[in-house]
Each structure stands twice: as C-alpha cells, then as structure tokens.
Amino acid sequence: MNACIIGASGYSGRELVSLLAVHPDITLSAVTSRSLTGSPVEVALPKMRGKAKDLLFSSPTPNELAESDDLDIFFLALPHGTAAEYAIPLVNAGKRVIDLSADFRLSCPKRYEEFYGAPHPAPELLEKAMYGLPELHDLSWEKSNLIASPGCYPTSIIVPLAPLLQAGLVEREGIVINSFSGVSGAGRQASEKLLYCERNESATAYGLPKHRHLSEIEEQLGISSDEKVVVSFHPHLAPMNRGIATTISVPAKGKLDPKGVEDCWKQKYAGRPFTQILPSGEFPDVAHVNGTNRIDFSVVADDRTGRYILTSAEDNLIKGAGGQAVQAMNICSGFDETAGLP
C-alpha cells in the first residue's frame, strides 16, 4: 500500500515519516511540505538517514493529489482549516484519508465554530467522517474513507474515563481534569513563549476556561454515557519536550470500588495491545511511555471525597497523534494492529 503524508515537516508529520518509512505493509511514496519542497527527506530529517532514500518533499495541490492513481492512503498532518482543503477533493475522489487535525472530530459545525473561531470549512463531510479512537470504535474503510484521528489531550482522558461512564460507575457531573503537555504539543511555529529560556524551569496553565479540545472531550464522553457531559478541563504546558500526564477527579456513583473500575477496564480493553492498566496506587509516568504508542492509566479511591482519581500518561506525538493514526490504518486495512508501532 502506497502512503502519502501531507504536511510532513511538523512534529506529528515527522513522527508519521519515522513510523511509515519502516512499516512492513506500507511504502512511503510521497511526503509534502511547502517549506521543504525539493529537499531530500534524509537531509531535512537526519533521523531518517538510510530509511528514506530518494524520497523528496513535494508540494502538489489538493486536486493533483486527488487525481493520483498510485497513492492509496493519505495522512493529513496539517492545521485545522487547512486539512479540510485537502480532505474535500481526496474524500470526494474516494481516497482513504486519516486526518490528524480537528476538522472532522466534531459532529456539529456550530460547535466547531464556537471553539475554533471560524465556520467549519467542510460541513458536508461531517456525516461521512468517523471518529477514530481504535480502542473504543469499530474502525473499517467500509464504514468511512475519512477517519478523524483523536486529539492528544482527549485520548489521555477518553480512554480511562469513557468506559466508566458507559458502565455507570461514575457520575456525569463534577468531573475535573488537569493535564500537562510537553512543548511539542504547541507545534513548530516560531513563538517567543516557546523559546527554551521561556519554557525551561516553567509550568503554566493555558487555554482556560475553554481549550479547543474541550469540545471533543465532552462530545465523546457524552456519546459514551448517552447523556450530555460537562467537564472542567485545565491544560498546562510543562517543561518537557513531549508527553502528556493527565489526572481526572470524578465522583463515584454509589460505593467506591476501585477493583470494580479496574475490572471494567480489563473487560473493555482485553486484548488491546496499547492499553496498560497499572495497579492501584502506581501512577503513570510520561518517561515510561514516551517513544511508544502505549497509554498507561490507573485508579485510586479517595474515601474522604467519594471520588475516583484516574491518572494516565501517553506520548503526545505517537499515541496522541502519528502512532494512533497508523494504528487506525492498520485496523482498517486488515494489518496487524501493532505493525510498525513501538
């Protein structure tokens, strides 16, 4: 299968290049970048030396890509808004597309406009798109040729919390979430606030009270519980390159039973290769998941408040972006779910 990465110069795009260049069932045939057009991939991305021979960055138009006969799957590693410009002709041409942006994660165009500050660029595709969290959704190309790959923060929250809402083990109200992300989550654009001297030895909240990912988090949790869910979400930027650590405080429904929570997880994620349930009292650490497609999570019960405290950790660029997209492709294409993934 021949793959194309559109927007391969950003952090998520670079991870995709690293993963797909060595994937046993994929030939990485095209990588695009307006800023690196004409540059050899091995020169622009020295990490790829010996793995991407003769592959050059290019900058074809969306229509040119849609008309190509030799490319089977397209990964959109582009900012929201821009991704839709490519998705429209590709999807309409019947191409298989996995979008890593936020353009097709929400079902409601008004909700998109509320959180992203602009009208949805392709509302006609929203009904075609399928939200692609592999552990919770039955993915296949037969159902949709447009997969919306989940955001990094939402993944760290939905994976541990959604099964508990679905099983009725926790309340829908009073949920408080704190997340810490590495600086790579802010992208590669030049910004004074992202300079080393600004971020080193510094941690700060941002995006309060309505971070863009809040819309995605609430929609997916609402689907799991069959009722509206409102959460208080507090993202922070931490002085590390990559990784997300999340803490979720959620009221128990009935008597506290942390073993019941663990049993719920074990049943939901039985046989899933990238979910790791840690013993109660052992807390996930980004240092233990960075460089992998794994998400670690655990639970402790707070008898004093009647709440469960769920904690999770993931690599924001792999499980939170490129790796998760490859995982979805593997499942949809009938490959081994773990193929090409660390």
65-89 pLDDT, tens per residue?
999 999 999 999 999 999 999 999 9
**Mean pLDDT of the chain, nearest integer:** 95
pLDDT of residue 184: 87
Half-sphere exposure of 97 (CA within 13 A, CB side): 31
Q: Summarize the confidence of residues 189-215 as an average pLDDT.
A: 85
**Distance set, CA 276 to CA 49, 185, 312, 328 (Å):** 32, 23, 10, 18
In the chain, what are the domains? 2-128 (3.40.50.720), 153-316 (3.30.360.10)
Kindly report the pTM of this predicted structure: 0.95
Residue 188 has pLDDT above 90, yes or no: no
Q: Summarize the confidence of residues 202-207 as an average pLDDT.
A: 92
217-237 pLDDT, tens per residue?
999 999 999 999 999 999 999
Residue 44 or residue 332, greater confidence: 332
The three-state secondary structure class of 205 is: strand
**Catalytic residue ranges:** 152
pLDDT of residue 109: 97
| Alpha helix ranges (H) inside the chain | 11-20, 41-44, 62-66, 82-92, 109-116, 152-167, 196-199, 213-225, 258-268, 286-289, 323-333
Confidence of residue 162 (pLDDT cuts 50, 70, 90): very high
Q: Summarize the confidence of residues 84-99 as an average pLDDT.
A: 97
pLDDT of residue 54: 87
